[in-house]
Chain A
Amino acid sequence: MPVFRWGQSWDPILDLEREVDRLLQGMNLTLQGRSSRRFPLINLLDEEDFFLLTAELPGVQLEDLELTAANGMLTLKGVRKAPPEAQTESFRRQERFQGDWQRSIHLPDRIDEDEMKAEYSAGVLRVILPKIAGSVARSIPVTDGSD
């Protein structure tokens, strides 16, 4: 959500709003958006038949990425290496996350763990988590136990 917004806007004002908003985000003044220091940022969507988890993981090598699901928890884990040939003292600016990271998220429903799929492209990880089809309610016969 933009943090800087007033009433109805026409185009030049909208541009200004978005520009101011971007500056505020750049200064980490916003409570929403990208000010979080967490890495990676995760979204979870309900797609009826499956859940879709997306994570912003730019610059991660697949061999440095580990994905596990157990007991209703999905865990992503990996390492993001520092740029090559960069020495700590040679940085003029260092804003990008580097190092080991781990994130876990509770899955809201039962998942068919055998059918999970994940793909990584353009720095975004997408995990498809198929739901287990709801079982048909079975009626339980009740017998008279008073005999």
Chain B
Amino acid sequence: MDDSDKTVPSTAAKVQPTAATVGDRPPRMLFNPPIDIYETNDGLVLYADLPGVTTEGLELQVQDNRLALFGRVGNGQTGRAVLHEEYKVGDFLRSFILSDEVDHENISARLNNGVLRVELPRTQRSEPRRIRVSAE
């Protein structure tokens, strides 16, 4: 699995927030969530930090060999006096290229306390099959 952040993902373009310029509000911010990827016996496991994202706001899609995740966060804090600010409120977007080793049909995901866990099982290698060649 490669991180494909270098290109603008075509599948993710669909899930771009469209409400970016509604009214006078400033455009919504879009962030790259931090991730972990590690290998297990069964395949790969991906974790992504998506604070403020609930299952309703999460879109996860696989198209061709690209896995795209988009997490929408509820409205930020507007019109209040900010005394101290270390983070901005915004949505999350990241996409990945899946290798052929990943069984695309059996990807499963779970969102818990703002952390997404995606299981990417390895495809079962099929045994080489001998093809009998007969003479005409």
Contacts and interface: CB of A to CB of B under 8 A. Distances in A.
Interface of A: 1-2, 11, 14-15, 18-19, 21-23, 25-26, 32-34, 36, 38, 41-47, 51-52, 54, 56-61, 83, 85-87, 90-97, 105, 108, 120, 122-124
B80 A11 contact: no
Contact of A21 (B30, B45, B81, B115): B30
B86 interface: yes
B101 to A, nearest CB: 12
Contact of A60 (B54, B83, B88, B113): B113
Interface stretch (B35-43, B59-67, B121-129): B35-43
Contacts of B68: none
Given A43-B86, A44-B82, 8 more contacts: A33-B31, A46-B81, A46-B82, A46-B83, A51-B83, A83-B117, A95-B35, A123-B52
5 A-B pairs closest in CB distance: A123-B114, A58-B114, A59-B115, A95-B34, A41-B87
Interface residues of B, number: 46
Given A59-B49, A96-B35, A45 B83 contact: yes
A124 B36 contact: no
Contacts, number: 147
B77 A45 contact: yes
A14 B28 CA distance: 11
B25 to A, nearest CB: 13
Contacts of B47: 59, 83, 96
A14 B115 contact: no
Contact of B84 (A2, A21, A44, A97): A44
B53 A94 contact: no
B37 A92 contact: yes
